[in-house]
Amino acid sequence: MAPSKAIFDAVIQGLEEYMNKTQQLRFQGMTELDDGSKQTNRAAMTTKNKRDVDTDPHVELIELPRNASIFELALWGGVFPLRLIMHYTLPDVRHLDHHGQPQKSIASAYLSTFACLVWLIVGSYVMVKSLESLAALMGIPDSIMGVTISAAGTSLPAYIASRIAAEKGEL
């Protein structure tokens, strides 16, 4: 917590200036050394010159994991059919051209959002039906299963992600 609003505003302004300066240097393919001198960043230059620059470097859903253990490969193989379906039903809108502008149209972004919502609905339906079947098998009322297992199963991952972000200092 900042001692005063003026100090807080000064810190925010300093961070924004630092981020803008770093972004400009990265865009120019330069990195600033601790002594204030600048050097060419060859990796940034080669990335800048590519026609198709990703905003988020990622691994394709259907790409075989590298340096994976037997267990990880078995788990990947078990969910591969779902990965394959999602790979071909969710349009990828993360590609930029050499000017940093999106290559995909706004219609592609709307289509991707709609497809994500459809997958969310399908996943929710499957989860609820699975919990109902499990509750019937175990003799537990549906309301108890929904209030406890379903609520914990959907809230716990959000809690863990929030805690990890807070520990890293992210807001």
pLDDT tens digits, 18-45: 777 777 666 665 555 455 555 544 444 4
**Is the model more confident about 170 or about 134?**
134
Residue pointed to by tokens 């990796």: 43
Domain check: are 37 and 67 in the same one? no
- The b/e string for 120-150 (b: 16+ C-beta within 10 A; e otherwise) is eeeeeeeeeeebeeebeeeeeeeeebeeeeb
Residue at 66 is within a domain = yes
Q: What are phi and psi of 62, to 5 degrees?
A: -95, 5
Domain check: are 68 and 42 in the same one? no
Whether the per-residue pLDDT at 114 is higher than 90: the answer is yes
Residue at 115 is within a domain = no
Confidence of residue 51 (pLDDT cuts 50, 70, 90): very low
Confidence of residue 92 (pLDDT cuts 50, 70, 90): confident
Residue at 112 is within a domain = no
Domain check: are 35 and 56 in the same one? no
- Cross-strand partners of 31: 39
Final residue in a domain of this structure, among 16, 32, 49 = 49
Number of structural domains the chain divides into: 3
Do the Cβ atoms of 2 and 8 come closer than 8 Å?
Answer: yes
Whether the per-residue pLDDT at 54 is higher than 80: the answer is no
Domain that holds residue 16: 1-49
Looking at mean pLDDT, say which of 9-13, 51-55, 125-129 comes out highest.
125-129
Do the Cβ atoms of 61 and 86 come closer than 8 Å?
Answer: yes
- Report if pTM > 0.75: no
User: Using CA atoms, how far apart are residues 77 and 103, in angstroms rounded to an integer?
Assistant: 32
Q: What is the pLDDT of residue 85?
A: 92
